[in-house]
Amino acid sequence: MNIDIPWARAELAQFLALTELYRPPDPPGVVNFTSRLSNRGKNSEINASAHVVEQILDRVLPRWRTEVPDDRNKDVNRWYQHRDAAQRADAALQRDAEVRERLGDDAPQLSASTLHPWVWSGARSLWQSGHYREAVTAAARKVNAEAQNKVGRRDASETALFQSVFSKDDPKPGQPRLRLRADDGSDTFRSVQRGAAAFAEGCFAGIRNPNSHEDGLPELPENEALEQLAAFSVLARWVDAATLAT
């Protein structure tokens, strides 16, 4: 988990302290028979802390907004869902490595937030609401749009676009190329360009098109969706790093 764990846990602890409920003392000479509770922190302090905590929760528990209950005790504490999620996130941060080691699953983990920014920015909002198939489709659209932006084209998209930009042929008017390495006429250059074009076609024909055009498909399991995002992340990095040849 690519995160500063001590810092994140300190932020969560501060938020939990600010949102702790207590019964304020009665003013001198006044006896209050109500059970009204208040948060220990000021609203301004809690709001400022929540701004940071929500971003931590998005990293540690991406689906906390939909999976952590928010319908209990709302009248008592408006921060109930945030507190519950913060407690769960703190346990995850504290014991994630230990749990994976004890259960025999300490293999490296891939976080969606470490994928290429084009991919994660396109997928993030849908991903966090559990719409994994739509998130992959949105990421594919984002990669396609960024490739169009880089080569300055709107007349081609997806498979046709990438076959053109990764072509081994010299650039033509209105048809610039993306070079993943210098065009030295070698077999390696030709292999890299051919492989990039084939990989892009696989991403759009094998992943993006079925996700978008087939009705009634079941929701993708999260791990499979993450693998598909990773494929588009590879393509995005190639496009981003490629040299534009005009």
Domain definitions of the chain by residue range: 5-102, 112-245
Strand (E) or helix (H) holding 112: none
Is the pLDDT higher at 215 or at 85? 85
pLDDT tens digit string along 149-203? 999 999 999 999 999 999 999 999 999 999 999 999 899 999 999 999 999 999 9
Each residue's pLDDT tens digit, 26-50:
677 665 655 668 899 999 999 999 9
With a cut of 60, say whether residue 123 has pLDDT above it: yes
Question: What pLDDT does residue 227 have?
Answer: 95
- Calculate Rg over the CA atoms of the chain: 25
Quote the strand ranges of the chain, DSSP E: 21-22, 38-39, 177-179, 243-245
* Structure-block tokens of residue 220: 């993708």
**Tens-digit pLDDT profile for residues 62-111:** 889 888 887 665 556 789 899 999 999 999 988 876 776 677 665 667 77
Say how far residue 56 (Cα) sits from the centre of its chain: 12
**Hey, what are 214's tokens?**
């087939």
Q: Report d(CA 144, CA 160) in Å as an integer.
A: 11
Contact 244, 178 (CB under 8 A): yes
- Is a pLDDT exceeding 60 seen at residue 1? no
Q: Of 25, 49, 50, which is closest to residue 37 (Cα–Cα)?
A: 25
Number of Cβ within 10 Å of residue 235's Cβ equals 24
Question: Residue 2 has what pLDDT?
Answer: 65
Note whether 185 and 170 are within 8 A (CB).
no
Whether the CB-CB separation of 57 and 85 falls below 8 Å is answered with: yes
Within 10 Å of residue 30's Cβ, how many Cβ atoms? 7
Please determine, for residue 222, whether its predicted confidence score (pLDDT) is greater than 70.
yes
Give the integer Cα–Cα distance in Å for 109 and 112: 10
> To the nearest 10°, the Cα dihedral for 183, 191, 137, 205?
130
pLDDT of residue 218: 87
What type of residue is 125? S
User: pTM of this prediction?
Assistant: 0.64
